[in-house]
């Protein structure tokens, strides 16, 4: 891993790879990872990553090893569940269907028609097999991170100044016209356009939009 040359005028930030999500993150003065969020689809992980309680993979991978073992066990159980579903040994407890073709309802498996039962089994299989694929991909990512980064030095990068906060009422210009900030929640900006339409953008996408001043300069002949 290449190290970035430091700028003596700015503080240096050490960065490493998280034992729980394998993503590159800042390492704080305690030697652990900085707080960060992480999401893996299909129900594996969501929200604040617990890797902030651990040293980076560069220095240790005990926690990562425990996660790998736990995910492997879950994958084994899920694969066994797929086999039992295909053999007809187990069934979904409930079936989701539509009442009068409009209202979505749940009914016990035993009360469903044969067609509804088969559709319910197929949907459950699709969900479980999707979860298995995502879990296997996550395992490969974490194992690869251990192989690549353990024992390597932490990266040193010039710490960048924090971006200015996005304020209520702030205006940016996009293809939709002028957008004005209504609220900012976490990494999401809720805005309203000139026609009254309300939408959302990530804070990153918002900062990449032009300010009114920038838009005016670009429109000058």
Q: Do residue 123 and residue 200 come from a single domain?
A: no
Least confident of 16-20, 39-43, 111-115: 39-43
In this structure, is residue 166 part of a structural domain?
no
Q: What is the structure's pLDDT at 100? A: 74
Q: Do residue 198 and residue 139 come from a single domain?
A: no
Rounded distance, CA 7 to CA 197, Å?
A: 44
Mean pLDDT of 10-33: 92
Q: Do residue 129 and residue 176 come from a single domain?
A: no
Q: What is the structure's pLDDT at 104? A: 87
Query: What tens digit of pLDDT does each residue of 158-191 get?
Result: 877 778 889 999 999 998 899 999 999 877 899 9
Tokens linked to 63: 């926690």
In this structure, is residue 103 part of a structural domain?
yes
Mean pLDDT of 10-29: 91
Mean pLDDT of 46-65: 90
Mean pLDDT of the chain: 88
Rounded distance, CA 219 to CA 130, Å?
A: 49
Of 120, 115, 126, 86, whose CA–CA distance to 105 is shortest? 120
In this structure, is residue 149 part of a structural domain?
yes
Q: Do residue 98 and residue 185 come from a single domain?
A: no
Q: How many domains does the chain have?
A: 2
Q: Do residue 184 and residue 156 come from a single domain?
A: no
Annotate 171-188 with three-state secondary structure: EEEECCEEEEEEEEECCE
Q: What is the structure's pLDDT at 124? A: 95
Torsion of CA 19, 25, 29, 32, to 10 degrees: -10
Mean pLDDT of 180-204: 90
Given a cut of 90, whether residue 97 has pLDDT beyond it is no
More confident residue, 36 or 146: 146
In this structure, is residue 30 part of a structural domain?
yes
Rounded distance, CA 96 to CA 127, Å?
A: 14
In terms of C-beta density within 10 A (0-12 exposed, 13-18 middle, 19 or more buried), how is residue 208 classed? exposed
**Structural domain of 203:** 171-215
In this structure, is residue 199 part of a structural domain?
yes
Answer whether 184's CB lies under 8 Å from 203's CB. yes
Last residue of a domain, one of 142, 161, 180: 161
Q: Do residue 117 and residue 178 come from a single domain?
A: no
Annotate the chain with three-state secondary structure: CCCCCCCCCCCEEEEEECCCCCCEEEECCCCCECCCECCECCCCECCECHHHHCCCCCCCCHHHHHHHHHHHHHHHHHHHHHHHHHHCCCCCCEEEEEECCCEEEEEEHHHCCHHHHHHHHHHHHHHHHHHHHHHHHHHHHHHHHHHHHCCCCCEEEECCCCCCCCCCCCEEEECCEEEEEEEEECCEEEEEECCCCEEEEEHHHHHHCECHHHHHHHHCC
Q: What is the structure's pLDDT at 39? A: 59
In this structure, is residue 47 part of a structural domain?
yes
Of 148, 163, 156, whose CA–CA distance to 27 is shortest? 156
More confident residue, 45 or 155: 155
Answer whether 49's CB lies under 8 Å from 20's CB. yes
Q: Do residue 88 and residue 145 come from a single domain?
A: yes
Largest Cα–Cα distance of the chain, in whole Å?
74
Q: Do residue 207 and residue 107 come from a single domain?
A: no
pTM: 0.66
């Amino acid at each position: 891993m290449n190290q970035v040359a430091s700028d003596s005028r700015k503080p240096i930030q050490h960065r490493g790879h998280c034992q729980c999500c394998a993503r590159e993150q800042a390492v704080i003065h305690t030697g652990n990872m900085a707080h960060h969020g992480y999401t893996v689809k299909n129900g594996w992980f969501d929200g604040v990553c617990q890797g902030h309680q651990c040293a980076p993979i560069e220095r240790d991978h005990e926690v990562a090893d425990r996660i790998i073992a736990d995910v492997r066990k879950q994958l084994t159980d899920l694969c066994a569940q797929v086999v039992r579903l295909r053999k007809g040994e187990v069934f979904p407890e409930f079936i989701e269907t539509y009442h009068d073709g409009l209202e979505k309802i749940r009914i016990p498996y035993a009360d469903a028609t044969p067609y509804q039962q088969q559709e319910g089994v197929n949907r459950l299989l699709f969900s479980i097999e999707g979860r298995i694929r995502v879990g296997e991909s996550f395992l490969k990512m974490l194992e690869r991170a251990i192989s690549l980064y353990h024992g390597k030095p932490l990266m040193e990068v010039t710490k960048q100044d924090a971006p200015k906060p996005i304020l209520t009422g702030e205006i940016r210009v996009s293809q939709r016209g002028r957008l004005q900030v209504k609220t900012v929640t976490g990494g999401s900006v809720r805005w309203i356009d000139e026609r009254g339409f309300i939408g959302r953008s990530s804070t990153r996408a918002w900062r990449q939009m032009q300010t009114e001043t920038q838009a005016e300069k670009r429109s000058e002949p």
